[in-house]
Amino acid sequence: MTETTSLQLIRLRAAVHANGQDAALWRWFSDQMEERRLSCERVQGYWSIRIAGRELACDRSFDAAVRAAHVLSHALRAL
């Protein structure tokens, strides 16, 4: 296997892994929205993400705020 082929295989595996993580994230998001546990609000250029009334993340990027809320919600459940 050449170095280029090996690097391409590594990139392909990373892309597949990232797609799987994104699917899980957005499934979690839609489940939370459907259960009316999650709310999103844009205030002064920042996205605030709340789960069950508790602000878990705030960021200028909607994507970054959702990802942070996802991580924090799982961390809080683990406590």
Percent above pLDDT 90 for the chain = 67
pLDDT of residue 3 exceeding 80 = no
What is the spatial distance between Cα 25 and Cα 57, in angstroms, rounded to a whole number? 15
pLDDT at position 71: 95
Of 51, 45, 44, 79, which is closest to residue 66 (Cα–Cα)? 51
DSSP β-ladder status, 46-51 and 54-59: antiparallel
**In total, how many domains does the chain have?**
1
Distances (CA, A) of 7 to 2, 14, 15, 31: 9, 11, 12, 36
Q: What is the band of 15 on the pLDDT scale with cuts at 50, 70, 90?
A: confident
pTM of the predicted model over 0.85: no
Domain that holds residue 38: 3-78
Query: What would the pLDDT profile of 33-42 be if each residue is shown by its tens digit?
Result: 999 999 999 9
What is the spatial distance between Cα 18 and Cα 78, in angstroms, rounded to a whole number? 23
